[in-house]
Amino acid sequence: MRPNYARARQQKRAHYDDATVRDILSGGLVGHVGFIAEGRPMVIPMAYALVDDTLYLHGASKTRLALLDATPLCLTVTHLTGIVAARSAFHHSVNYRSVVVHGLARRVEGEEFDMALNAITEHLLPGRISEVRPMSEQERKATGVVALDIEYASAKVRTGPPVDDDSDLTLGLWAGVIPVTTALGTGVQDAHTPAGVPAPPSVGEARRKFSGA
């Protein structure tokens, strides 16, 4: 994230344990996927799902990303949790939890294809697949799924108040943290939902899962 001014501090923020990585990936709404296109870096926001040690992405079967195979991908998921206001501009920062994942793209077919598509939908709306009309063959053909088998993942976490220079602590200034929260609201039904049909369980599950994410 921001400063990384001091390498020592940067290293203090790095967490490589599997549980931290999985927790951050599981709680992310969208990821930012990086790939190289015509020699340039490209970053696009995408829905995703984590299954064991593989991340899944999808898109129209003809899109650039869906056609990638055996090329390097990066997926980054960030939860911003606060703005850190210090007594000097230098020590301003943000509180966050993030994961950066690297691996090669792999095109997905067969049984893994259906499993992955379901997982992507259920990442955002747990249980949704059993609530909706099944996928058609035409829809399958129109969709591409790419796997990112995780080769390397690193998490970084910053929490807590600003870390000011000792000599700044007596300046009499206000310093602290402005919390940043992300919340899911009440589901708003569309015009074609019959009167009296309540929001399904998946909506409540999503609100519980991502509250405070």
Residues 2-41 contacting a copy of itself, CB under 8 A: 2-7, 10, 29-30, 32-36, 39-41
**Distance (Å, rounded) from C-alpha 101 to C-alpha 105?**
12
Q: Are strands 93-107 and 143-158 parallel, antiparallel or unpaired?
A: antiparallel
Q: Does the footprint of a copy of itself cover residue 137 (CB under 8 A)?
A: no
Residues 80-119 contacting a copy of itself, CB under 8 A:
80, 83, 85-90, 92, 94, 96, 98, 100, 102, 117-118
Q: How far is the CB of 52 from a copy of itself (least distance, A)?
A: 21
Q: Taking a C-beta distance cutoff of 8 angstroms, is the pair 209, 126 a contact?
A: yes
Residue 67 contacts a copy of itself per CB under 8 A: no
Work out how close the CB of 71 gets to a copy of itself at its nearest, in angstroms, rounded to a whole number.
9
- H or E stretch including 119? helix 110-124
* Backbone angle region of 85, left / alpha / beta, with phi > 0 → left and psi within -120 to 50 → alpha: beta
Q: How far apart are CA 72 and CA 140, in angstroms?
A: 25
CB of 94 to a copy of itself, least distance (A): 7
Among 18, 43, 69, 159, binds a copy of itself (CB under 8 A): 43
- Check binding of 141 to a copy of itself (CB under 8 A): no
Q: Report the distance separating Cα 51 and Cα 22, nearest Å.
A: 10
Segment 155-184, which members bind a copy of itself (CB under 8 A)?
161-162, 164, 168-184
